[in-house]
């Protein structure tokens, strides 16, 4: 038995005739007759009783028709499921990001266009985010430091600045400083993100280039913990400019003589970028503009 024979038999039962079955399937009537005859001959059974211009299933045919109905019902459900995904009226897109500030606007824009798609958004360190995509635990990564890997397709969102900030009890606030040199950070207590984060990678590189050994008094995986530690006067914070919203508690400063920038990118596996979900998200990312941030250099 092959699926064409069973489909022809199912159509005869539904239409009540071989002619009607041919119209349902869009094939010739002899083709339908041949499929049903081959099915009956192979199993040496009688499945359809011809009564004039109509055809009705035998007792055995009734049993087979019920099974065929269930089989093709599942086939229709499978086709409907895949069609809904193809049209992006359903499905799930898994996104890993090293911060919420670029990821959330992109997710919001995607959901505005495709409200039926569910979004799974996970925030982790830069290294963990890229590894999650390479291991196919997530579909898309939004991150600020992408290690070179020929398996990855990359879309650049824009350039971000890294700044330092103090609380409003600090001398730099009272002096009204907007810029400092990296040497000014020597001997100062520094509060930073964990190893593997984008800000930490860029700040470590800038310090190494300047021959500065920073005094990291606190390392944390949490941006909020970093901010609260600075607010408590425990040290000078290092953060991406877009992550420090204007708050009366903080005073941001640029480091004028160091390369304190990074490129924010959307990343996925090349071999999966033609999937409809991925393709539409990448199209949105290509047209996306990072929100402008008021940093000390712009004041």
Contacts with 60 (C-beta within 8 Å, 6 or more apart), sequence order:
45, 46, 47
pLDDT at 297: 43
Residue 40: pLDDT band (50, 70, 90) is very high
Q: Please state the CATH superfamily assignment of the domain spanning residues 159-262 in this structure.
A: Periplasmic binding protein-like II (3.40.190.10)
Classify burial at 111, counting beta carbons within 10 Å of its beta carbon; exposed 0-12, middle 13-18, buried 19 or more: middle
DSSP string computed for 194-242:
PTTSHHHHHHHHHHHHHT---EEEEEES-HHHHHHHHHTTS-EEEEEGG
Total-model pTM: 0.68
Residues of the chain with CATH 1.10.10.10: 3-86
CATH topology (fold) of 3-86: Arc Repressor Mutant, subunit A (1.10.10)
* Average pLDDT of the chain, as a whole number: 90
Contact 246, 294 (CB under 8 A): yes
pLDDT at 53: 82
DSSP string computed for 241-267:
GGGS---TTEEEEEETTS--EEEEEEE
CATH topology (fold) of 92-157+264-298: D-Maltodextrin-Binding Protein; domain 2 (3.40.190)
Mean per-residue pLDDT, 29-34: 94
Residues of the chain with CATH 3.40.190.10: 92-157+264-298, 159-262
pLDDT at 77: 80
């Amino acid at each position: 038995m092959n699926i064409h024979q069973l489909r022809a038999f199912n159509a005869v039962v539904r239409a009540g005739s071989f002619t009607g079955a041919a119209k349902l399937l869009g094939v010739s009537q002899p083709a339908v007759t041949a499929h049903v005859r081959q099915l009956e001959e192979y199993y040496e059974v009688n499945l359809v009783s011809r009564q004039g211009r109509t055809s009705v299933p035998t007792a055995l045919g009734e049993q087979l028709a019920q099974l065929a109905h269930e089989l093709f019902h599942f086939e229709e459900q499978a086709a409907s499921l895949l069609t809904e995904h193809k049209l992006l009226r359903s499905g799930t897109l898994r996104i890993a990001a090293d911060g919420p500030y670029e990821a959330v606007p992109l997710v919001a824009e995607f959901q505005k266009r495709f409200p039926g798609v569910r979004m799974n958004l996970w925030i982790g360190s830069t290294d963990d985010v890229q590894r999650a995509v390479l291991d196919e635990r997530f579909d898309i990564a939004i991150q600020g430091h992408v290690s070179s890997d020929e398996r990855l397709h990359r879309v650049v969102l824009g350039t971000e600045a890294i700044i330092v900030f103090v609380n409003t009890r600090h001398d730099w606030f009272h002096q009204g400083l907007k810029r400092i040199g990296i040497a000014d950070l020597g001997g100062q207590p520094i509060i930073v993100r964990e190893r593997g984060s984008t800000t930490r990678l860029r700040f470590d590189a800038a310090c190494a280039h300047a021959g500065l050994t920073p005094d990291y008094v606190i390392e944390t995986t949490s941006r909020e913990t970093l901010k609260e530690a600075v607010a408590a006067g425990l040290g000078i914070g290092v953060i991406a400019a877009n992550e420090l919203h204007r708050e009366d508690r903080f005073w941001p400063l640029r480091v004028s003589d160091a390369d304190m920038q990074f490129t924010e990118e959307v990343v996925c596996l090349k071999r999966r970028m033609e999937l409809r979900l991925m393709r539409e998200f990448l199209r949105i990312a290509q047209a996306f503009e990072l929100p402008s941030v008021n940093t000390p250099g712009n004041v």
